[in-house]
Chain A
Amino acid sequence: MTALLLDAVSWVLLMAGCVLVLIGALGLVRMPDFYCRLHPAGITDTLGADLILLGLMVQAGFSLITIKLLLIGAFMFFTSPTSTHAIANAALVAGLKPERAKVPALPEDKGDNQ
C-alpha cells in the first residue's frame, strides 16, 4: 500500500517536472527575443529540475542516493539562477536591447506584447 502510494507520488512529481521542462524547452525555441527566452530557460528549468529530482528522491527511499539527489538539487537551486542572471546582465551590458520594447503592437500579436 505504502509502496503504491510512493510510486504514485513520485510518478506525479516526475510527470509534472517533465511537463515543465518540456514547456521550458518549447519556450526557449518559440519565444520571440532573448529576454523572453530567459524566462522559460531560467524559471521553468529550475522548478522542473527540482521536481524531477524530488520524484527520484521519493523513488530512492532514504539512503545515500537521496542525500546525493538533495545535494544536486541544492547546487542547481543556486547555480541555475546565477547563470541566468549572469547571462542577462552580460547581455544588457553588451547593449542587447529587448527587440519589441519600443515597437508598437504588430498586427499578428493581437496586442498582447509588452
Chain B
Amino acid sequence: MLSGVFSFVSAGLLVHLDAVDVAFTEAAVGAGISTVLMLSTLALTARHESLNRRPRAIPLIVVFLTGLTLVYGTLDMPRFGDPNAPIHSHVSPKYVNDTAAEIGMPNIVTAVLASYRGFDTFGEVTVIFAAGIGVLLLLAGTIRNAINGNISAMEHHLVLRVVTKVLIGPILLFALYVQFHGDYGPGGGFQAGVIFATAFIIYALVFGLETARRALPGRVVRILLATGVLIYGGTGLISFVTDHNFLDYSVLGATAVAGQHLGILLVEFGVGMTVSAVMVSTFYAFAGQNPPISDEDW
C-alpha cells in the first residue's frame, strides 16, 4: 500500500543512472499523486481483498517460463554501459552534438522533448488530455456537489494547518521555478504541472475539498485543461501558417535560436497547464465521490 517507498527507491536508482530529468518526474509523481490516487480509489471500493480461491500454481509457472525466455533473450543484448550499443549510434549523437548550436540551451532532454521530438510530446500531451477527459466522463456524473453541514476536514489539526499554509507558497514557487528553469536544469512542463497540482491536492487534503474548490473551481480547471493543449498546438500552427513545418519554432524569434527558445517556453507552458489541470480535475473527481462504503467492508 505504501507504494511511495517504491518511488523513492526508483528515483534514487534513476539519479545513479544519470537520468536526472526522469528522476525528477518520478519524484514529483511518486511522492504525492500516485499515492493519493490509489488511496482515493480504495476509499471508494473495498479495502480488503476477498479470499482468492484461484489456483496459484499455473500463474507461477507461466510467469517463471516467460521470465526464463526473457533471460535467454538478454544474452544477446549489449552490455550495461557499453558506449557502442546500437541505441547510442542512431539519432542520439546528433542530439548531443547539435543541441548547443541549434537550440542553444544546456538541457538536452528539454531540447529533444520540446523541439526535436515535438510531435511525440504533442501526442503524449493529447493522451494525457484524453485520459483526463475520460476520468471526468466516467466520474463527473456522480460527484457530490454541495455539502450540507460542517466540513470536518482536519479542522482541529492546528499544527498541520499552519505548516501546510507555510509550505504551499514555496511549493507553488518551486513549481514555477521548475517550469521556467527547465532549459538549464532538470525540469520542464511535465514535472512542474505535477508539482503545481500537488500543492492544490495538499490544500484540499488539509483544508477540505470544498475550500479548495472555492479557490480553484472545477470549471476553471476544465478550461485550463483544454487551453494547455491549444497553446501547444497553436504554437505549432504559427510556424505552419508561415510556410514552415509544424512545430518548427525557428520562425518565432528574430534568429533561429531565439525562436527555438520562445517556442520551447510556450510549449512547455502548455504542457504544464494541461498536466496540472488533468491531475487536479482527476483528484476532484475521485475525492468528490460519495463514499459508498458500508461498514462491513471495513
Residue B143 CB within 8 A of the other chain: no
Residue A86 CB within 8 A of the other chain: yes
Contact assessment for B166 and A89 in the assembled complex, using a CB-CB cutoff below 8 Å: no
Closest approach, in angstroms, between the C-beta of A91 and any C-beta of chain B?
A: 14
Residue count of chain B within 8 Å CB distance of chain A: 7
Rounded to whole angstroms, the CA-CA distance of A89 and B156 in the bound complex is 11
Residue A62 CB within 8 A of the other chain: no
Contact assessment for A86 and B167 in the assembled complex, using a CB-CB cutoff below 8 Å: no
Rounded to whole angstroms, the CA-CA distance of A35 and B288 in the bound complex is 34
- Chain A 75-87: CB-based contact to B (< 8 A → 1; otherwise 0): 1001100100110
Instruction: Identify B166's interface contact among A78, A85, A86, CB under 8 A.
Output: A78
Segment of B157-165, B187-195, B208-216 engaged in the interface with chain A: B157-165
Residue count of chain A within 8 Å CB distance of chain B: 8
Closest approach, in angstroms, between the C-beta of A28 and any C-beta of chain B?
A: 14
Rounded to whole angstroms, the CA-CA distance of A89 and B170 in the bound complex is 26
17 contacts between A and B (CB under 8 A): A71-B170, A75-B167, A75-B170, A78-B163, A78-B166, A78-B167, A79-B163, A79-B167, A82-B159, A82-B160, A82-B163, A85-B159, A85-B160, A86-B157, A86-B159, A86-B160, A89-B157
Interface residues of A (CB under 8 A from B): 71, 75, 78-79, 82, 85-86, 89
Counting from the closest, the 6 A-B pairs by CB-CB distance are: A82-B163, A85-B159, A78-B163, A86-B160, A82-B159, A78-B166
- Contacts A82-B160, A86-B157, A86-B160 aside, 7 further interface pairs with beta carbons under 8 A come to A71-B170, A78-B167, A79-B167, A82-B163, A85-B159, A85-B160, A89-B157
Interface residues of B (CB under 8 A from A): 157, 159-160, 163, 166-167, 170
